[in-house]
C-alpha cells in the first residue's frame, strides 16, 4: 500500500513499499565557521542509520577529513544569518554536481545526529518534517512570516502545517527546482532589507503551503535533544546558538542586527560584495 501524498509516517512500512524503485540517497549539509565541528558525528551516525546513503555533500569553508563518502563543495563563511539564508543559493551553485548523483537529496542541519533507522529511498516529490514544536498547535499559533513585505508571507487563516527547516529534501531534480524558487524569494527579501522572521524556514513553509510535499514525516525526524525522545530518528543537538553562530549577545547583538539590516536596505551593492566572496552571483 503506497503512502498517501502529504501523509505523515515514522517507519519504513508507513512510508510505502520501496522495493520497486530504490534510488541512491545523498545528504547535503552546510558546515561553515564553527558549525564544522559537528560534521564528524553527523557523518558517522548517518552512515550507521541512513539506508541507501552513498554520499554526503559538504558545503564548507574548510576541507573535511578524507572519507570515502564525503565530497567537499567549497563554500565561504558569512556572518549570521546569511549562512542559513544562503543555503539554497549554495546548493544551486553545485546543481550540476548534485544532479549527476541523481536519486534522493536530503538536506539536514549539520548540528544533528541520526539515532534510529531512516529510510527515505524512493521519494518522487518533496519531503518535509512536521516541526516538533507545533504538531498540536492551532494554525493561528504557527510562526509563519505574516508581513506582506516578505515574499515568504502567509496570510492569516492560511497554512495547514508548520514544517521544520532543518530536515528537508526529496527527488533531487524536484528539490533543486524548489531550491531555485526559494533562493529567488530570499534574495528578493534581502535586496530590500527584509529578513523573514525565521529566515529560510519561513520561505520553506511558504513553498510547502503552495506546493504540499509528497511525504510528510513526523517530528521524530527532527527531535530536540533535550526532549529525550526514545523514538527519535534524527536528533537536533542542544547547543549555545550564539556561540556557534559567532554573534554577540543582548543589546550589542540587537544593535548589530539593526545596523546590518539598515545597511542592506540602503546599499544592495554591499550584499553583492559579501556574496561575491562565496562565488554567488545575485540575480538581477
| pTM listed for this prediction | 0.79
Tell me the C-alpha distance between 78 and 232, whole Å: 31
Instruction: Match 549554495 to its residue by C-alpha cell.
Output: 90
Q: What is residue 80's predicted lDDT score, i.e. its pLDDT?
A: 77
Domain spans, the chain: 7-276
CA distance 146 to 209: 13
Name residue, grid cell 552546510: 30
The pLDDT of residue 1 is 31
Specify the pLDDT at position 232.
97
| 187: CB partners within 8 A, 6+ apart | 89, 282, 283
Q: State which fold the 7-276 domain adopts.
A: Spore Coat Polysaccharide Biosynthesis Protein SpsA; Chain A (3.90.550)
Q: Which pLDDT belongs to residue 21? A: 55
Peptide bond preceding 81: is omega within 30 degrees of 0, i.e. cis? yes
Ranges under pLDDT 70 in the chain: 1-21, 239-284
- Among 22, 16, 28, which residue's Cα sits nearest to residue 51? 22
pLDDT of residue 255: 45
Tell me, what's the pLDDT at 257? 46
- φ and ψ of 272, to 5 deg: -60, -40
Whole-number Cα distances in Å, 220 to 105, 167, 217, 230: 19, 11, 8, 9
Amino acid at each position: 500500500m503506497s503512502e498517501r501524498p502529504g501523509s505523515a509516517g515514522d517507519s519504513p512500512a508507513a512510508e510505502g513499499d520501496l522495493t520497486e524503485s530504490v534510488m541512491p540517497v545523498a545528504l547535503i549539509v552546510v558546515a561553515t565557521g564553527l558549525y564544522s565541528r559537528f560534521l564528524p558525528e553527523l557523518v558517522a551516525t548517518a552512515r550507521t542509520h541512513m539506508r541507501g546513503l552513498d554520499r554526503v555533500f559538504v558545503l564548507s569553508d574548510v576541507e573535511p577529513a578524507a572519507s570515502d563518502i564525503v565530497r567537499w563543495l567549497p563554500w565561504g563563511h558569512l556572518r549570521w544569518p546569511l549562512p542559513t539564508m544562503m543555503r539554497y543559493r549554495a546548493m544551486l551553485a553545485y546543481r550540476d554536481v548534485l544532479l549527476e548523483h541523481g536519486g534522493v537529496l536530503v538536506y539536514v542541519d549539520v548540528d544533528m545526529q541520526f539515532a534510529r533507522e531512516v529510510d527515505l529511498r524512493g521519494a518522487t516529490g518533496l519531503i518535509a518534517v512536521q516541526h516538533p514544536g507545533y504538531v498540536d498547535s492551532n494554525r493561528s499559533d504557527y510562526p509563519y512570516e505574516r508581513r506582506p513585505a516578505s515574499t515568504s508571507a502567509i496570510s492569516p487563516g492560511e497554512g495547514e502545517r508548520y514544517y521544520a527547516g532543518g530536515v528537508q529534501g526529496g527527488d533531487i531534480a524536484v528539490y533543486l527546482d524548489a531550491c531555485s524558487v526559494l533562493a529567488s524569494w530570499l534574495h528578493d527579501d534581502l535586496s530590500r532589507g527584509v529578513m523573514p522572521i525565521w529566515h529560510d524556514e519561513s520561505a520553506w513553509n511558504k513553498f510547502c503551503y503552495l506546493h504540499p510535499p509528497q511525504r510528510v514525516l513526523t517530528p521524530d525526524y527532527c527531535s530536540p535533544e533535550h526532549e529525550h525522545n526514545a523514538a527519535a530518528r534524527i536528533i537536533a543537538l542542544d547547543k549555545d546558538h550564539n556561540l556557534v553562530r559567532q554573534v554577540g549577545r543582548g543589546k550589542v547583538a540587537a544593535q548589530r542586527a539593526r545596523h546590518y539590516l539598515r545597511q542592506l536596505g540602503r546599499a544592495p551593492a554591499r550584499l553583492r560584495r559579501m556574496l561575491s566572496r562565496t562565488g554567488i552571483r545575485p540575480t538581477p
